[in-house]
Amino acid sequence: MLQALFSPAETQRSPSRFGKDLPQLLAIIVLALGALGIIAPFGWTIQGAFGDPAEAVRLPPQWIPTHPNLDNFNEMFDRLPFGLFMWNSVKIATAVTIGQLITTSTAAFAFARLRFPGRNTLFFILLASLMIPGQITLVPMFIVIRQLGLYNTHLALILPGLINPFGVFFLRQYFLTIPTDYEDAARVDGAGPIAIFLRIMLPLAAPGMATLGILTFVGVWNDFLGPLVFIQDENLLTYTVGLQKLQGIYGGALGPTAAGTVLGVIPVLVVFIVLQRYIVKSVIATGIKG
Q: Are 41 and 140 in a shared domain?
A: no
62 domain-assigned: no
Q: Same structural domain for residues 36 and 89?
A: no
State the pLDDT at residue 288: 46
Q: Which residues contact 147 (CB under 8 A, 6 or more apart)?
A: none
**Same domain flag for 13 and 108:** no
Q: Are residues 52 and 75 in the same domain?
A: no
pLDDT under 50 in the chain at which residues?
1-2, 4-6, 9-13, 288-290
* pLDDT value, residue 70: 84
Q: Report the distance separating Cα 258 and Cα 138, nearest Å.
A: 30
In the three-class reduction of DSSP (H, G, I as helix; E, B as strand; rest coil), residue 199 is classed as: helix
Same domain, 214 and 136: yes
pTM of structure:
0.81
pLDDT of res. 118: 87
Residue 130 sits in the same domain as residue 205:
yes
Same domain, 144 and 262: yes
Residue 90 confidence (pLDDT): 93
Say whether both 21 and 164 belong to one domain. no
Pair (83, 18) in one structural domain: no
The answer to the question of residue 206 being in a domain is yes
Both 50 and 173 in one domain: the answer is no
> Does residue 161 belong to any structural domain of this protein?
yes
Does 134 share its domain with 278? yes
Those residues with Cβ within 8 angstroms of residue 69's Cβ, 6 or more apart along the chain or in another chain: 50, 51, 52
Structural domain includes residue 48: yes
Per-residue pLDDT reduced to its tens digit, 150-166: 999 999 999 999 989 99
Range of the domain at 230: 71-286
- Which residues, other chains included, contact 93 with Cβ-Cβ below 8 Å and sequence gap of 6+? 216, 217, 220, 221, 267
Number of domains, the chain: 2
pLDDT tens, position by position, 176-208:
888 888 888 888 888 888 888 888 888 888 888
Q: What is the DSSP string of 210-230?
A: HHHHHHHHHHHHT--HHHHHH
Question: What is d(CA 117, CA 34) in angstroms, rounded to the nearest whole number?
Answer: 48
pLDDT computed for residue 5 by the predictor: 47
Same domain (yes/no): 28, 94? no
Write the CATH number for 242.
1.10.3720.10
Assign 3-state DSSP to the chain and report helix, strand, coil percentages, each to 5: 75, 0, 25
